[in-house]
Amino acid sequence: MPALASLMTGLSPHVSAVHDTNSYVSSEAVTLNEVAVAQNYKTFMITSNPLVIRKSNLHQGVLNFEDSLTITDTQLHRSFAETAGGFKSWLEDELGAHSFFATLYFSDLNY
C-alpha cells in the first residue's frame, strides 16, 4: 500500500506516513483523483485487493470507487478478469464522451 499511496499523492512514505497496510492516506493529502475531478474528469478506481478499501483513504477524489469484494477461503482477492471487467463495464456504461482518470489496482499479478 505505501507504493500505491505514493503514486496517488506524490508523497514518499516518510512524508505520507503510509508505511504498511494498517496505515492510511491523510485526508489533507491531495490525490491525483482530486486533481482530475477539479479539471472536470470522471474518476474511477477498482481494486482486486481487499486491503485497498475506503478506510485507506485512497478513494479521495474518486467519483466511482468499486471496492466491494467477496472474499472466501479459496479466493482472497478479485481476479484480474473480474477487475478488468469491472472497469470495462464502467467505461461502457458510465463514461460517454467525458474525459476520465482511472486507477485499476491488480494484486493477483504476483500469484
Residue 54's pLDDT is: 76
Model-level pTM? 0.83
Best CA proximity match to 62, nearest among 35, 23, 88, 89: 35
Quickly state the pLDDT bin for 109 (edges 50, 70, 90).
Answer: low
Question: What is each CA distance from 80 to 11, 25, 29, 58, 70, in whole angstroms?
Answer: 27, 25, 29, 20, 14
How far apart are the C-alpha atoms of 56 and 63, rounded to whole Å? 16
Tens digits of per-residue pLDDT, 28-85? Answer: 999 999 999 999 999 999 988 877 777 788 889 999 988 887 777 877 788 888 889 9
Q: Are 99 and 40 in contact (CB under 8 A)?
A: yes
Quote the distance between the C-alpha of residue 27 and its chain's center: 15
Residue 93's pLDDT is: 83
Q: Is the pLDDT of residue 6 over 60?
A: yes
